[in-house]
Amino acid sequence: MKFNILHAHFFGSKEINFLYLTLGLSRFARGLINIFVPIYFWKLGFPLWKILFFYFLISLFFVFLAFFIIPLLRKTSDEMMLFLSVPFIIVYYLGLSIIPNFLFVFYVLPPFMAIHMILFNIGYHLNFTGAVNGEYIGQELGAQDVIRKLFQFSAPLIGGLIIGSLGFKFNFIIGSSILFLAVLPLFFVSKRKFPTKLNSQSIFSLLRDKDLRPFNVVALGYGAETMIARILWPLFIFLTVGSIQLFGGIMSLGIFISAIAAYFAGFLSDTGRRKKTLAFSSNFLSVIWAMRLFLVNPLLIVGSHIGGNIFDSSLMVSWRSLYCKIAKSVSVPGVFIFAQEILYNIARVLFLPALMLLSRVFSIEQFFQVSFILAAILTLSYLSANKFYLKSLNRL
């Protein structure tokens, strides 16, 4: 009986399973490439400020273009959004491979990635929040994270081996090919239309809403902190270990171990312990970021990476379970999802120029240390989510 319950929660409905498959294949393809992009730019000789500038452009285009394509989103289903997002990221990946020969492409690719993010992130969250079982949101989020990471955990290792033997260009081509397969399961997923109430006024209304303010604070912290976690921390590890293959193996190990933490965090979230799990994970992850100031030994860095992934996975499941509950509680889930995505990228548009300036003021060692301090502070913003109460959404 317990196995049947676990099986039901882990695999969910058929619709969720097809969504998991699309997400899994997509994450594997991205895992082959995304984690290596900052290293790719570094190997091409780009300074840190210019690497950060690339991601700044992506977020800037996201905020700018998101409002222009609102009329399109109102006429498009979540399934179609996921489908349409794929060509843009394929162009992005293939474009990365020709930057050494055509440097101007560096400035052309950010809008392609931005449009992909708008379509994929919003389409996915709209579909998942509509399909997920409200009684077991935490467990289904935990299961989603496990499945995603089971698909993804080998990708950095494989990507590192491909890059080490065949080069970055071949890796970009393989990742792009897998993304074609990722869209096929979408034909078995129910369509959900975006709300007709989606417009600039409804979005800014949610961004200014006083009851949502504690949760919006987390969105701003998340948007900024992930730039350090996704760009600077991987680059720091690579510069320490010096091998692209070893770097890929370390990334894969961290993903694999964190999958277990994600699933158990989902159970805790559904048994009324979400707030404790969120507070515990946020505080410990902040401590880990602070301890990274003193790491020079490669083994300690690997241990810090694994520990950070464990607490980050627990934190994400706890936070996202509340995210899903809010999206299912408000009268217009699509507007809430859109507003959150806008907040993440507004935070990055404001935060990345500060990082760019710091990278030019400090030595590279000092810059990494300052960045880790900032990440430790930003991680504590997740505690704001515990000040939010679902009952305040009755009027929304």
- For residue range 226-246, list pLDDT tens digits in order: 999 999 999 999 999 988 999
Q: Residue 28: enclosing H or E segment and its boundaries?
A: helix 14-33
Look at domain 7-391 and name its CATH class: mainly alpha
| 298-308 tens-digit pLDDT | 889 999 999 89
Mean pLDDT of 13-25: 67
3-state SS, residue 193: strand
Q: Which two tokens stand for residue 347?
A: 């935070």
pTM for the whole structure: 0.88
Mean pLDDT of 63-82: 81
Question: Which among 359, 151, 139, 385 has a CA at the least distance from the CA of 264?
Answer: 139
Report DSSP state, residue 44.
Answer: T
* CA 369 – CA 275 distance, rounded (Å): 30
Mean pLDDT of 53-78: 87
What does the mean pLDDT of the chain come to? 82
Task: State the residue for tokens 């393989």.
Answer: 174
Task: Give the pLDDT band of residue 193 (cuts 50, 70, 90).
Answer: low
Q: Which two tokens stand for residue 39?
A: 């290293």
Report DSSP state, residue 194.
Answer: P
**What pLDDT score was predicted for residue 264?**
65
- 295 Rama class: left (phi>0) / alpha (psi -120 to 50) / beta: beta
| 73-117 tens-digit pLDDT | 777 777 778 788 888 999 999 999 999 999 999 999 999 999 999
Q: How many residues does the chain have?
A: 396
Whether 142 contacts 92, CB under 8 Å = no
Where do runs of H (alpha helix) occur along 228-332?
Answer: 233-241, 244-268, 274-291, 298-329
Whether 153 contacts 20, CB under 8 Å = no
Look at 58-72, 119-133, 280-294 and tell me which has the smallest mean pLDDT: 119-133
Mean pLDDT of 151-168: 88
